[in-house]
Structure 1
C-alpha cells in the first residue's frame, strides 16, 4: 500500500508553509476521500470517485490557479492536527499570535441509515472558536477538469452553487454567504457549519444536519474500531492504520485503491510520478490480509465482489495487474501539462500504463486473497462452487505462464525477465 498521508501535532511556525506538504490528515467514507494539511487546507479531493477529477488540486498546484478549501485565522501563528480517537474524523486547530484559536472538524459522513450504509459524496466542515471570538476567512475555490475549468458561481438563500460543465457542487452554510464569496475576514463567535456536496436540498436544517453527521460518523467508526482484534501494544497506531486501509475501499464495487493520490514522486526529480488511484490485485491482497488479521473480514467480502467480476471476465486467460475501480481495463496514461506538480516535480500523470503489463504473481495474489472467503463461517456470503471453478481456471493460467518473462512486481517498462516473485 503506497502511503502518502500522516497525522501530525507538531507546531507549524511558518504561515507560508507549502500547501503540498504530505503531513496531511485524510478523511473518507469509502466513496470519497480528502487530504487536509496541517493548516486546515483541503488540498486534494477527487469526485465523483477516487480516480475522478480533483476538485481540490493544491497538492499538485501551489499557485493561485490551484484549487483548495482553506479556513484561515487572522495573524496565524501555529497549528496542530489530530483525529477523534478511533475514528476518521479529523480536528485541526489554528492559533493566532495572541494564543486564541479555532478548531476545524472535518467529516466524511458514514453511518447506517434505513438499513444501508449512508456514504454521501459530501464533506462536512465545522469551525468553532476555542476560547474567544476570532477573525477567520474562508476560501472555497473548487475547479473542474483538472483545474482547467473555473466554475460559474451562483447564490441562493443559504447556499452557493459551483456550476461546471459536468459537475455542480452546492455549499450549504449557516454563516454569511457574502463573506465566503468575497473571501473576507469575519468574526467567528460561534460554531459555523459548511456542507459541500451534490446540488441537493438538505432534508433538515444546516446545523442540525452537520451535528448529526458528525455524531453518527463518530459512532460508526468507534463501533467499527471496537470490533477489531488488536494487541494491547501499539494499539493506537494499529487502529489508525486499519482505519486508513478501510478508507481505501471503494465500497460501491469492492475495489481497493493503492493510494488516494497521483503524481507524488517516488524521489525528487525522478519523474517516477505515478497514478495509484486504481486497484492493484497485489496491493489489494495485502490490505485484505492485514484487515483479516485484525478480524475485520467485511472488507474482504466487499473485495470479493469486485474480484469475482475480474476473474469471471478473464475466462481463464490473462489477468491484468490492475484495473479501474469500476472494472475498467483501459487506463491510458496521459500527462497533464498545465499542472506544475507536487512541489514543482513534473510530470502529473492520469492513468497507468502498467495495465498493459504481464505480472504473473497476480494469479497467486488472487488465490491468496480469496482463500479465506471459502473457509470463514462469519461471512454473510461465503464463496462456493462457482467461485472455485473460476479460481481453478486462474490456477491453470498460473501454471501455463510459469517461468515466463514478465514485468515483475517492480513493473519494468522497457524489458521483461523471469522474476522470482512471479514464480
Structure 2
C-alpha cells in the first residue's frame, strides 16, 4: 500500500481522481463509512465529497452512516468486533491512542510520504499519531481561538489587542477599573472536556507538557502548574466571570456575543455567529487571533480539537478505503468545503478563494494550528480526562491549591497507566 509516493498534495488529488495509484477497484465494490451528524463538515458536505469520489471511481459504492458525536465512539467500538463493520471511520483526536491500542485502525504510516507530512500543519498530525505511527489522515482542523471586543479594547485606552497572557491581565484590569465591563474574561471551565481544552491552551502557552518521553505525568510542575495558577489568579482578581466554572462553549458564546465580556477562548465556529447581527449584539466589533503566548517563551498557543479519518484494521478493502480517505482529505475537497471546516493544508491558508472575506480568522487559525498541542495521548484518555477535570475544578473553586490538585491528579494518572 505504498500509495503516497508522488509529490504531496498532487498525489492526494491524483488518487481522488482515479489515476491508478491504488490499482483498479473490482466491480461493484462497496465500502462502509461512519461519520458524525453534526458540527464541522455537515452531512451535505460529506455526501457531496463522496459523490465526487464515486463519480471518479464508478466501480466503487460508498455507503454512508451518520450518528451523533455522542454515539460515534461506541458505534465504532461495537462494529470493530463485527465481520460486517466499517471500512472507514471518523474519530476524535482523544480516541486515537485507544483505537490504535485496541487494533481498530490500520497503521498507515508507510502510506504517508515526507512531502505530505511537510505540507500539513504539524499540530494536525497529532490528530492521527500514536507512538510515532499514523492511523489515518487528519480531516477536520480545529483549535480554540482568542476572541476580543475591539470597541472595549479601544475604549480602555489600548491601541492593540493583548499579545501575551500578562497583557490580557493588564487590559482586563483596566477595563474593570474603568467600569467598561464587570468581568472582562469568560471561559468554559465547567467540569467537562471544555475545561481540559482551555487548560491545554494555557499549558501550551506556558511551555508545559502533559507527559514526559516515557509517558509519566509532568503537568503538575513547571508550565502545567503555572497554567493552573494563572487560571485561579484571574478568578481571585475578579477579572474572570465567576460563572465560568459552570460554563460550556455555548455559554461563552452567549456572554461574549451579548457584550458582557471583552475576551474569550472558543472554537472557530464562534467567529461567524459573533459577527451575525441576528445572533450577536457586537457584530462588526469582533477581533480574533491565535491564543496568546508567554513573553520570552511562546508566541502563540492552541489545543488540537481536530478529527481524523482512518481505515479500519479488519476491512477487506484496505486499498480502496485508503484511496477514499485520501480523496476526502485532499486539498481539492478541503478547499471547496472550507466554509464549515478549516483545511489541514498549509497552502490553503494562502489561497485567495479560501481566505477571502475572513482573512483575520484564517491568519488566527494558521498561527494556532502551527502552535497547538494535543491533550494527553493515552489509550484510557476518558478516565484520565475525568481525573483532570475534577482536580482542576477543585483548584478553581478554592477547594484545593493548584499544587495539591495537580499533584493528586498526577498520582491518580500514574496509577491508571500502571494498571
Bin of the TM-score, shorter chain as denominator length: under 0.3
Task: Report which structure shows greater RCO (CA 8 Å, sep ≥6).
Answer: 2
| Structure with the higher fraction of residues in helix conformation | 2
